[in-house]
Structure 1
């Protein structure tokens, strides 16, 4: 399970290669030079996803193919033949390019495990996950309550019931929080979310117990050394206000 997020990160970086990196790895002519692009695409999309970054570094032509829509269309058709581009996609979070669609499906497939009875939940969850994580990583993210509401609204706009929208949004928040790296930016981000999420919101926009617990858990474990004495007791007070029982591992500055 630990390898799954890493393969998603590799995929996301495949088409963001610098020209210098490609040139450094470029080699002389070979048999692939005489093949047309559509055959090269067929070969590349048959490789494991974890090998795509390395393949894109072989030569400029291959890197260009990974930046083209045709490769991602082929990859989508092979991996998810039922993914329809002409399907109506309402809501605030767009589907984007074929590459974006593939990354959303790939991410959802590797990070989440649930029954996709409606046939489109996996892609919805993938797009919502990418949207939320990207927004949290910018220097000045939107209000966390607004981001949470946007994710909920996306599921509601696509016809999901309130309880399902709430559950899916909670799973997405948990996955995003778990996959944030241990950095100063993440520490300040978690501190800000804990403070802002004091505001009460009605169901299905309310924050789940599991998500709030995970926020405090990361602060008291992964970022314990970053907490000043004032920060520690401030966060601990908030935690005691929210939860009846506090783990012993959270106690003691």
Structure 2
């Protein structure tokens, strides 16, 4: 069996890169990381534009790799576009409007990257969602629908931030600044987003508070915005 497996690997090595790429894109996306760890040559294929263009064409055949998108957030190269579509599919679920599907993913990637740059939130022009909402408005969505989609992007990003001290500090800052960061309707459904910020602080990050004063200050901040607050948020 070992000899047979060894022979199969040698045979694969003889294949030209474009054939290997066609084989790889037909495996599960979840397997790509493991495949790229087998050989340096294979890892390098996953870094090429050719691989991601082939993956786009095979897995998302409805897309045009050279298509430009409306709005201020650029689509990027083939890998970026593939990631945006995959995120839309995995996190938000498929939507009949394919173009909006891709833009949801781009908005998610853009906002998550901005939030992870530092513990200091970027300029509010980025945070309150108008840049993301402009993408949907550019596709012909109404203002209400566009800003509802922008808020969905916010909620998904908050749910998928890594659970570490950096994120804890970021959530505290967002909670303290409140409407200074999340401008009110129609820019985002800010109440939904602010609620999620406090919910994560008092559940997922409860143990990160250094002392009771810090916790009760944040709890007072929550009470000033929401009444009543859930019992799950209580009990430092």
Regarding TM over 0.5, the answer is yes
Match of 1:126 in 2: 105
Pairwise CA RMSD: 2.1
Q: Would the alpha carbon gap of residues 141 and 236 (structure 1) be closer, same or farther in structure 2, given more than 3 Å must change?
A: closer
SS in 2 for 1:30: helix
Match of 1:251 in 2: 234
Of residues 80-89 and 62-71 in structure 1, the stretch that sits farther from structure 2 once superposed is 80-89
Of residues 231-240 and 172-181 in structure 1, the stretch that sits farther from structure 2 once superposed is 231-240
SS in 2 for 1:197: helix
Q: Would the alpha carbon gap of residues 145 and 218 (structure 1) be closer, same or farther in structure 2, given more than 3 Å must change?
A: farther
Gaps of 5+ in 1: 1-27
User: Deviation string for 1:28-86 (max 9, x for gaps)?
Assistant: 97011221111111101111111111211222221121111111111111111111234
Taking structure 1 as the reference length, the TM-score comes to 0.82
| Separation in 2, partners of 1:29, 1:81 | 30
Q: Would the alpha carbon gap of residues 206 and 53 (structure 1) be closer, same or farther in structure 2, given more than 3 Å must change?
A: closer
Match of 1:166 in 2: 147
User: Cα offset for 1:144?
Assistant: 4.7
Gaps of 5+ in 2: 1-7
Pick from 194, 203, 210 the counterpart of residue 192 of structure 2. Answer: 210
Task: Give the 5 Å matches for 1:12-31.
Answer: 30-31=10-11
User: Cα offset for 1:174?
Assistant: 1.1
What is the total number of aligned residue pairs between the two structures?
A: 226
Confirm or deny: 8 A CA contact 2:56 2:82 kept in the other structure.
yes
Q: Would the alpha carbon gap of residues 138 and 201 (structure 1) be closer, same or farther in structure 2, given more than 3 Å must change?
A: closer
User: Cα offset for 1:155?
Assistant: 2.2
| Separation in 1, partners of 2:137, 2:214 | 37
Taking structure 2 as the reference length, the TM-score comes to 0.87
User: Cα offset for 1:229?
Assistant: 2.4
User: Deviation string for 1:195-246 (max 9, x for gaps)?
Assistant: 2223373532144322211111111111112223232222222222222211
Match of 1:39 in 2: 19
User: Deviation string for 1:70-124 (max 9, x for gaps)?
Assistant: 111111111111112343312221110101110111111001135x233211100
Confirm or deny: 8 A CA contact 1:174 1:211 kept in the other structure.
yes
Query: Does residue 238 in structure 1 map to residue 221 in structure 2?
Result: yes
Confirm or deny: 8 A CA contact 1:144 1:196 kept in the other structure.
no
User: Cα offset for 1:141?
Assistant: 4.2
